[in-house]
Structure 1
Amino acid sequence: MELKLAGKVAVVTGGSTGIGLAIAKRFVSQGAIVYITGRRQAELDAAVKTIGGSVQSASVDSSDTVQLQAFFDRVKEQHGKLDILVANAGGGSFMPFGQITEAHFDDTFSRNVKGTLFTVQTALPLLGSGSSVILTGSTAASGGTEAFSVYAASKAAVRAFARNWILDLKGRGIRINTLSPGPIKTPGLVELVGTDPAQQQGFLDHLASLIPMGRVGEPDEIAKAAVFLASDDASFVNGIELFVDGGIRQI
């Protein structure tokens, strides 16, 4: 079987859990040399064991430009290039309008907007013609969700980055696309409603009732779409938003 990412060097930020972990696993299985980053070393160590193969980890806060520079300097020293960058690190939480705090806003935008911007900008010198940048968006940016406005706005900003950066990088052969998952069964999703298993399952059941396919997605379903965007199969795909959402934002 042909490996779609054979010999390519990839970075997946936020790669220790959930969607990022699934993407890293898929990339390694397709022949890539993968670096994963995250803020919690114990989770990174566990992820490396789970993924196996050609994977390394680094403890990096994607909103810290000094840490980002040190990390990409390491990638440059070891490989001299970067073929695939998945700017996936981020997150959010519910906060109703009228109760939004400055701390909530700053944390969400620092993780999702500042982190994405400076991750990609710091990596730019390593990205050459034919490279692929994938920004993790969200269906939340394309519709309304109660008590989720700050997160939705941050992901709308991520989508705007892709539209504008493809113009800034015109002629360099670097593709930038946004991959927008719908509700995906990850720790980050279920923990939005706390740690009680029954409450988490009720939340998943509610989300499933809203999705035309009648279920929430699995992280590996996002990972398979990421392989497409990262590979030469998507050589003329640039600036799009690829929804992998079971149809929830298509109705």
Structure 2
Amino acid sequence: MTAVGALVVALSLVAAACTIGGPAPTDWKVKPGTIKVVDGEDNDVGDEPYVIQVGFRSKLGVAGSSAAQISSQCYAGALPAPDAAPDGTTLAVPAGSADVTFPEAQNLDIGDVLLGTAPLEIFGTLTFAMERDGIFSGCAISDALGSALVPVLNDALNLLIAGSAVPPTQEQLIDLIVANLGNFLNAVGGFLAAFIEGLGNPDDIVGVGVQILLPTAGAFTDLLNTAFAIGGIFQPGLEQGFIPISGLPSSVKIKVGSLVPSNATFDFQSDAAHYVYSSTIGH
């Protein structure tokens, strides 16, 4: 086969893995499910666990496209009653009280990105499993996250995701995504650790669950999973998508996966307490 013929075949394969205008957009939600208090923080009869979520999204190679939002049970007026969760209790998070919504997301194949039919977006959430100490202190942690963490997160996304040019080849695209996600996760770990250390103590952060959600489809999903394995992001024994970041406390868990209907469970053990948190990704 001539070089020209090989190029035509390669372009045909890429074109076959795309849709004109990109796939139909879909609205997704990351919905808190339950919190189980294994070993509570309070020395009284029960804890008051609740959830704060920070959602974010950024389009690869589209400058200034990053956005972040905060959703909190505290803002929704859906906090648990005092002493609602003695050890061994599982509380359901009230429906809609801390959801993060990602409207009009497109799950792309490799050709969609390389041929520019639609930009690849990186989605994600930071979920804070909280224990309510300051019963009369308002929503201090939610306020702090909104004013201090959300802008830093937005800047990191604009630098590492939105500010990256989309490369022309499949191999370069995969390498860029793997490298930039690794850099972004290390940045997230660093400013999470600094944020938690700098807080006062109106409420306790028992754990932080980070989910990176990749809206891929078809061969693109397989290519990325293979690249993550080779690059060491998905290591043996980490088949559920949880990845280690050196220097992070055990109360911070990071998970990378596809944007598909799924469930996630985070086991948070900290000096404050031991909670098991569950969430759902769906429509």
Q: Give the TM-score band, short-chain normalised.
A: 0.3 to 0.5
Q: How does the TM-score come out when normalised to structure 2? A: 0.31
More strand by share: 2
Q: How does the TM-score come out when normalised to structure 1? A: 0.34
More helix by share: 1
